[in-house]
Every structure is written in C-alpha cells, then in structure tokens.
Structure 1
Amino acid sequence: MRNKTGAILIALQVAVTMAIMVNAISIIQSRSESMARPSGVDEENIFHIASVGYTEDFDEQSVIEQDLDAIRAMPGVIDAIQTNSVPLSGGGWSMGLQTEPGEDQEGVGVAVYFVDEHALDAYGLSLVAGENFTAADVTWRERTSQEWSATTLLTQAMAESLFPDNWRDALGATVYINGNEPMTVKGIVERMQAAWNGWDGVERVMLVPQHTLFGSTRYVIRTEPGERDRLMPEVEKLLADRNRDRIVRNMQTMTETRERSYRGDSSMIKILTFTIVLLLLITSLGIVGLASFSVSRRTKQIGTRRALGASKASIARYFMTENVLISGVGVVLGAALTIALNMFLVDAFDLDRLDVWLVPAAMLVLLVVGQLAVFGPARRASAVPPAVATRTI
C-alpha cells in the first residue's frame, strides 16, 4: 500500500494481457474450426488443370469431349469432369434460388458448379437422397447464354436453407433461378463447399448439368489413391500434345488449393499465437521486475522477520500471496476488459462471440503464470539471512 504505482501498473498489464489473449484465442479457435471444415470432396486424390484456346478455329466443344474421353481412359483415373470452378479456389459463380417464382421473392444465395453426370465420382461426393444426373440431362452453355438446365442437385445445407422444416422436402421440388426459371431438384448431396471460404453460406451449393463454352475451361481429375502425383504430369502432357492451339496451365492439387485458400487464416493464427506468447513473456518479466525490486527494497525488513523467527517458507509465501492479490485484481479487471473488447470486435468486424469458458480459464492461467514468475524472487527473499537486520541499509 505504500508503493501502489508498481502494483497498479502490473495489475493493468495483467488485465490488458488477458483481454488481448482471450480474444486472440477466440479468433484462433474460430479460424481453426473454419480451416478444419470438410470440403465434401476427395481432396487427397484430386487435382485440376486449366485449358485456354487462343486461335479462331479452336473447336472448344469438340476439344472438351475428346479431352474428357482421353483422360477418363487413362489407367489410375477414377473419373474426370469439365467445370467452371472448384471448391475453395476463390473464384466462381453465385446465384439466388427461391421456392416461389417472382422477382419480388427473396432468394437464397448459392454457389454454382457446372458439371456433367460424372461429377459425383469425379469429386467423390456422397448422394444422400434422390439420384444423379444422366447424360440426357447435360447440355452445352455458351458464354452469353441465359438458359438454365431443367434439373439440379443441391447440397444438404442448401436444401435446409430452402426448406428449413425438413430438408428432404427439397427432393423433387421445383426451385426458381433468375426469379422465374424453374429447376427440379433431382438429388441432394451430403456436403460440398463453395469457392469462397469466408462466405457464411460456404456449404450452399448447386450442381447444374451443363458443359460450359467460355473460352477457358477447367478439368477436375480424381485418381486412385496414391496415383495423383504420377498422373499430374501425364495429364498435362496429354492435353498439351493433343492440341497445340491452346495453353495448358494452373495445374494444382486440391490439397494445394485448400492450403492457398486458408493461407491468410494460417498466417493470422501464427501471428496471434506469437502475440500471446510475447504478451505472457512481457507480463512475466514485469512481475519478476516488481518482485525483485520489492525484495531489494525490503531486504532489512526481511532480515528482521527472519531474526524474529520467520521461516524461509513464510517469507516466500508472503511474496507469493502479494502477487496473488495483485494478479487477482488484474484478472478481475481483465475479465471486464475481455468482454468489452469482444463486444466491440463482434459489432465492428462481425467476429464470433467468445466461449464463456475462455474467461475463467485465462484467469487461472494468468494467476499461475504470475506465481511462476514471482517464484524466483520469492526464493531469493527467503534466502536473506537474519544477520541482515543488524546492518544499516
């Protein structure tokens, strides 16, 4: 009480450390959960590659048909499709679906993948209701076309958004795209992710049975386990050799696509983890500094207590208790700061609310860190000999 400044500063340091640490852990937890979400596809055995024709007489439709036949015939290939995008790639199509026709009806945002009847095998998707496309369902779509297929497959998450009472009601139902164009839901896929990992509707996906003639095309190839790396250069060479009027580029595994998609999240987790460790270290050093200063300032007082019969354990316990009181005030203030900071982050940046258990857990951790930090100075204090009491300081 006679030297309140140091104690107040340490308590404030503990409080600020706790507020930043808990909210950083909450962000790390949220990002880690997002990164761990299954995409619904067989990522370990899938790669994709782009093909772009650059001559006026490039027959894109014929090339796509021949490419797919050649790729599917390769030993080790399970299946292949032509599509406009792949999950987590960062670029693709999105539309709105609604259960009632009309421009005034509110639609539900959905990611669109143009595929053919081989999509389920090529992606390794699981069909939980209904049936797959047939070859008769598949049509060709020009760049400027506004016509949509008569059928579609939806993910279960999309079906739940359209029919919240019972997602199975989506099977066989008519949904509307572009306000008035009807599409029949032919089947429901368990899970598939959109191209954008930060979208809140990342699992709202629809598959449309159309080949695209957009000038640039992308092939998705799924291989037998262990065959992906061997087949990647072979497929690239096959496409390059089959037609010289195009550029073959951007070959990438789905594993690489996922890693690139979450690279920002991964970096953020590393930065926040480093920040937490650094704050704990700085706070510990502050506690050590205050305790060491207190020991040196009270050396004669400690010696007097030792001369009057105080044990080494009681001297050490004195400084440990003093730290508990200071840290206790800090963590109580820190709990209030933590909640206030989280409320600001939720409102300003639309972050998730932190889990309640993080606050008491952080309070306990900081109290333990404080005790570990003060243990060294407390031991030095307990080692002060009684003879010090007879000296003039």
Structure 2
Amino acid sequence: MSNTTKTAINWEVGPIFRALMRNKVGAFLIAIQIAVTMTIIVNSVFIIVERSHKMQRESGIDEDNTFYLSSLGFGNNFNAKVSIQEDLNLLRNLPGVVDAMQINAIPISGSGWSMSLQTQPGAEYDGVGTAVYMVDQNALNTLDVELIAGEKFVATDIRWRDESTGTWPDKIIITKSLALSLFPDDEWQTVVGKTVYINDVEPMTIGGIIDQLQAPWTDWDKVENVMLSPEQMDQESTRYIIRTEAGRRDELMPQIEELLANSNKNRILKGMRSLQETRERSYRGHTAMIKILSTIMVILTIVTALGIVGMASFSVNQRKKQIGTRRALGASQAAIVRYFMVENLLISTVGVVFGALLTIGLNIVLVNVFNLAKIDWYYVPIGMIVLWLVGQIAVFGPAKKAATIPPALATRTV
C-alpha cells in the first residue's frame, strides 16, 4: 500500500466513524452478526478438525483384510472347548486365511472389557485404565501388531477362562502407550519384566510390548491403553476374528460363514462384519456432526455476507446524492470504493474482537460441560482474518456500485 493511500485512509477514518455513529443500530447489528458467526465457525472448525483426527487414527490392526463373526452354541451335546478348537483349526488351514483366533472384544467396535492396573498393590493406590483383549498365541499375527520388546505368547501360556474364573494369568502383553502410562518416569523398553497388579493385589508380569492397538471405545482419551491376556473363553457364545490375505476378505467372508455353518449344526452364526464397516459404524456420530457443523458454517457465512451486502447497499441508496457530491468535488471511483471498504473494516473489527471473546467463552463452556479439548490459540486470529476477508469481499460489490454514481446526481433536487 502506498504512502498516499495510507494517508487517505487515515484521513477518512474519523469521518467514517462519525458517520457510523449516526446509524449505530445497523452497524451494531452487523458487528453482532459477525461476532456470532465467528464464534460458531471457529469452534465448529476446531471440533471438525478434532473429530477428523480421531477418525483418521490407526487402530493398529490390518483393517482392510480383517473381519469377525460370532458363534452361539446350543443343545446338550454342544462342547464349547471342542467347537472352538475345531473352528480355529478349520479357519487357520483355509487357503487365503492368514490367521484367526477367538477374542472377547473387537477394536474400535464400541463394546469391550476394561480393567485397572496398578504398579503397587493395595486399594489405596490409583490404577491406570486399560482395555482387555483375551487372545491366544496367534494374536500378534492375527491382529498384525508388532512386538517391539519382550516375548510373544506361546501355547503353554494360554489358559481357559469360564464364567467362574476370577483370577488372571501370570503374564501379559501391553501396548507401548500403556507402558508409558503405567511407568511415566521409565523408558518403555525397560518395562518388560516388571510387575503390575490387577484387582488391587493380584500380580502379573509384563512379558512383552506391542507397538499399537486401539481399545474398543473410540472416544476414550486412553484409547491405546491395551492389555493382551493369554486366555481362551469356555463359553457357548464366542467371537472369532479372521485376517485374510490382501484383497481376499470379501471373497472369503461368505465362504467362511458357510463353512462354519456346515461344520457344526449345533450353533448359530451371526454378526459377521468387516473392520472397515465397524470403523464406519463407530464413527457414524462424528461423521454426522462434521456434516451438520459444515452445513451450519456455510449457511452462517452466506447469511453474514448477505447481511453485509444488504447494509452496504442500503447505505449506498441512502447516500446517492452525497456520493454524487463527492464525485463532483473530485473524488475518484477508487476513493468511493475505499470509503465503503474502510467502513466495513471498522464494523468487522468491532465484530471480530467481540467474536474472539465469545469464541473463548464458548470453548470454556464446551470444555467444562462436554469435556471437549481446549481450542488452540491460533484458531482465533485465523477466524478473525477470515471474517475480515468475508466482510471485504461482501462489501466490494456495493462499493463498486457506489463508485459508478455520476457526479451529475449531486445537482438533482428529486
């Protein structure tokens, strides 16, 4: 911007401000509209970004090639242990299947089992929450997770758990995230071999650490706190998770369902679903929220822009003779455009400053009431710049129209 232009703007700010004070209601309403729009848009963008980041988090498993289904046995002759072992042998030997196992819960499904682990025994000590997956020696290969420290489970580590079992295995595998949560002052590699306590006093040894695996609950703030327990469940109702070779999941899903159905008539198969479908269902609420907030932001921006256009157009129509007089006195078209742009800039500035305060206030309410994260500081100045630009773009049309008013209009009496 040239020095001449800066001087002209500085010279015009005073008269423009005084002119606005003679029409305070219209300017005030537009400023309030800008403030409310900024408040909603900035907080909405922050929520959308936060939800999008959550939806893009990796679960740690091979989602593209993994599915699961449930088996419900019935009848006096149904033997859960025998059925489970026969099913797993059948699945693992099927061409196209990488591995399979029984599991008590599915990652990112929304339903699972959680416990609390402590680094010292006793009910007086606080624990760290963790999701619990009951798995066998094929867990790492089935889930496609990487062991980054310690040892994996072997067949002799696996035990059977029935409804009356109240104790826990001696050895577990945990995620790196859980290791850091349990022992924040230690290097995660050194956690292998340490003892943790479940049910306040029951000791378990950390036998291994895996890189990443998500809990079933996608909105949990400790979503990567996961424990693998070496157990198979002696229950009539069981769930199998199956990992296939790349690209063969959809082909094998109906085949496996039919194969298992024919192999044992004393059970019902249900709930067959891919991990991709599970992710979509689990994040359906986030997806809907993003769509709703995006729609609201677009509508608010359009309404605010139309409000600015309407006020500027009304101002132009009210001041046609005044503008014609200025043109007759030598004001250029650029000066007329600049007048309305500066006028809008003043109104927008009041609006965005008030909007910044409302934005922070609304975020504090959302944090306290809905337990949302605090907004990052840079969202506020970015929101202010965006609303300034919206105002300048919206007022440019009426300002150009004002600049075309001929000087001869100043001489008209009607």
**Band the TM-score falls in, shorter-chain normalisation:** over 0.9
Matched with 2:57 is 37
Matched with 2:291 is 270
Name the SS for the 2:279 alignment partner: helix
- Deviation, 1:43, is 0.8
Query: Counterparts of 1:107 and 1:29 in 2: how far apart (Å)?
Result: 31
Matched with 2:78 is 58
Amino acid aligned to 2:374 = R
- The reply to whether residue 14 of structure 1 matches residue 34 of structure 2 is yes
Matched with 1:159 is 179
Matched with 1:362 is 383
- Deviation, 1:61, is 0.7
Matched with 2:404 is 383
Name the SS for the 1:306 alignment partner: helix
Change (3 A) 1:144 1:392: farther
- The reply to whether residue 224 of structure 1 matches residue 245 of structure 2 is yes
Query: Counterparts of 1:4 and 1:146 in 2: how far apart (Å)?
Result: 73
Query: Counterparts of 1:91 and 1:56 in 2: how far apart (Å)?
Result: 29
Query: Counterparts of 1:102 and 1:339 in 2: how far apart (Å)?
Result: 42
1:165-314 mapped onto 2 (5 Å cutoff):
165-166=185-186, 167-314=188-335
Matched with 1:85 is 105
Matched with 2:145 is 125
Tell me how many residue pairs correspond in the alignment.
393
Return 5+ residue gaps in structure 2 as ranges: 1-20
Query: Counterparts of 2:87 and 2:241 in 1: how far apart (Å)?
Result: 12
- Deviation, 1:168, is 2.4
- Deviation, 1:148, is 1.4
- The reply to whether residue 114 of structure 1 matches residue 134 of structure 2 is yes
Amino acid aligned to 2:120 = E
Worse overlay, 6-15 or 339-348: 339-348
Query: Are the equivalent residues in 2 in contact too, given 1:51–1:248 (CA < 8 A)?
Result: yes
- Deviation, 1:150, is 1.4
Name the SS for the 1:199 alignment partner: coil
- Deviation, 1:56, is 2.7
Q: Could you tell me the TM-score, scaled by structure 1's length? A: 0.98
Query: Counterparts of 2:173 and 2:159 in 1: how far apart (Å)?
Result: 15
- Deviation, 1:289, is 0.5
Query: Counterparts of 2:210 and 2:239 in 1: how far apart (Å)?
Result: 22
- The reply to whether residue 135 of structure 1 matches residue 134 of structure 2 is no
Query: Counterparts of 2:265 and 2:325 in 1: how far apart (Å)?
Result: 94
Q: Root-mean-square deviation (CA), in Å?
A: 1.0
- Deviation, 1:175, is 1.4
- The reply to whether residue 339 of structure 1 matches residue 365 of structure 2 is no
Return 5+ residue gaps in structure 1 as ranges: none
Name the SS for the 2:212 alignment partner: coil
Name the SS for the 2:204 alignment partner: strand
- Deviation, 1:57, is 2.1
Name the SS for the 2:304 alignment partner: helix
Name the SS for the 1:74 alignment partner: coil
Name the SS for the 1:244 alignment partner: coil
Query: Counterparts of 1:69 and 1:366 in 2: how far apart (Å)?
Result: 63
Alpha-carbon displacement from aligned partner over 1:326-367 (angstroms, at most 9, x marks no partner) = 111111111111111111211221111111111111111101
Query: Counterparts of 1:381 and 1:287 in 2: how far apart (Å)?
Result: 15
Amino acid aligned to 1:301 = Q
- Deviation, 1:104, is 2.6
Matched with 2:165 is 145
Alpha-carbon displacement from aligned partner over 1:2-46 (angstroms, at most 9, x marks no partner) = 111100100011011111111111111111111111111111111
Alpha-carbon displacement from aligned partner over 1:234-288 (angstroms, at most 9, x marks no partner) = 1111111111111101111111111111110111111111111111111001000
Query: Are the equivalent residues in 2 in contact too, given 1:163–1:169 (CA < 8 A)?
Result: no
Q: Could you tell me the TM-score, scaled by structure 2's length? A: 0.93
Query: Are the equivalent residues in 2 in contact too, given 1:50–1:218 (CA < 8 A)?
Result: yes
- Deviation, 1:147, is 2.2
- Deviation, 1:180, is 1.9
Worse overlay, 243-252 or 143-152: 143-152
Name the SS for the 1:88 alignment partner: coil
4+ residue segments displaced more than 4 Å:
none
Name the SS for the 1:97 alignment partner: strand
Query: Counterparts of 2:125 and 2:23 in 1: how far apart (Å)?
Result: 68
